[in-house]
Amino acid sequence: MSKSVPVLNVHRLTKTYPSGDRTLTVLKEVSFSLGTSSTLAILGPSGSGKTTLLSLCAGLDRPTSGSVFLQGVCLDPLGEDQRASLRNQFVGFVFQTFQLIPTLTALENVMVPLELRGSNQARHLAMELLERVGLGERLDHYPVQLSGGEQQRVALARAFINRPRILFADEPTGNLDTETSEIVADLLFELNQAAGTTLVLVTHDHELSQRAERIIRLRGGSIISDTRSNPQLQGN
C-alpha cells in the first residue's frame, strides 16, 4: 500500500454535547491525516478530548461537524452496521481496561474478530498470536484467571488477528504497573511494526508517546502541537 494514500484522514472535526442550557465543545476543528504504517500518539490532560477524538476516528461516535475518512471511506453517511463492518475489516482496538469478554477464554476472545468475518482460520491464527504474546499455555483461561498484563496481551493478540490497517490504542498501559507496562508497550510496537499497521495511541504517558513517530497534543479540544517525536526513542 502506498504511503501517499492516507489510512486516516480527519477533517475539521468538531464534537459538542448539550450540557444543561449550554453546549459543551469537546473537540474543535481538528484536522490531521495519517499514512500507512505510521505511528501517532495523542497526548493531553484529562478532558482535552483525546478519547472523543479516538472514538470519532474509529467510527464509534458521530461528529457534530467535520469528516473522518478511514481507508479512503468517508464515515459520515455510513450506518451503524456499515461502520461495524468497516471496523471489522480495517480496525483494531486496545483498551485501557482490556475489555476482554469475561465469558470467553483467552483463545475465544482473540478469535472473535475473525469469526465475525466468517474465517475458518480463526482458531489457528489466534493460537499463533497467543503463542507470540507468550500466552501459548493459557489459551483456555478466562480473563478473570489472568493478570492485568496477561489480559492486555490477550487484547493485543485480538487487536492484531484481523490484520488491521489501523490500530487504536486507548491508554494501553494505563491500568498496568511500570514493569508490565513496558512489556506490553514493547509487544504493541513489535506487533505493529511486524504487521505494518498504522497506530493511533492515546496516552497520558509522556515516555510511551515518545515511541510514536508523531505526537499530537490536545488541550481544550484543539490541537496545540503536531510534532515529530525524538527519533532516538522510537523502537525502544
Q: Residue 149, interface with other proteins (CB under 8 A)? A: no
Taking the least distance from each CB to other proteins, the nearer of 90 and 189 is 90
Choosing from 73, 78, 104, 127, the residue that interacts with other proteins (CB under 8 A) is 104
User: What phi and psi, each to the nearest 5 degrees, are found at residue 13?
Assistant: -80, 125
Residues 29 and 11: their CA atoms lie apart, in Å, by: 8
- Shortest Cβ 143–other proteins spacing (Å): 7
Name the segment binding other proteins (CB under 8 A); options: 30-38, 124-132, 136-144, 224-232.
Answer: 136-144
Q: Per-residue contact track with other proteins, 110 to 129, x per CB under 8 A?
A: --xx-xxxx-----------
Choosing from 15, 28, 153, 158, the residue that interacts with other proteins (CB under 8 A) is 158
Name the segment binding other proteins (CB under 8 A); options: 1-9, 21-29, 103-111, 133-141.
Answer: 103-111
Q: Residue 186, interface with other proteins (CB under 8 A)? A: no
Other residues' Cβ atoms within 10 Å of the Cβ of residue 212 = 24
Pairing state between β 166-170 and 198-203:
parallel
Q: Residue 61, interface with other proteins (CB under 8 A)? A: yes
Q: Residue 150, interface with other proteins (CB under 8 A)? A: no
CA 146 to mean position of chain CA atoms: 22
Cα–Cα distances (Å) from 208 to 123, 133, 134, 158, 235, in that order, read: 32, 19, 22, 21, 11
Q: Residue 218, interface with other proteins (CB under 8 A)? A: no
Residues 229 and 212: their CA atoms lie apart, in Å, by: 7
- Shortest Cβ 26–other proteins spacing (Å): 12
Taking the least distance from each CB to other proteins, the nearer of 84 and 183 is 84
Choosing from 6, 66, 143, 149, the residue that interacts with other proteins (CB under 8 A) is 143
| Cell numbers at 169, concatenated | 490504542
| Binding residues for other proteins (CB under 8 A) | 51, 54-55, 58, 60-61, 80-81, 84-89, 91, 93, 95, 97, 99-104, 108, 112-113, 115-118, 142-144, 158, 162, 170
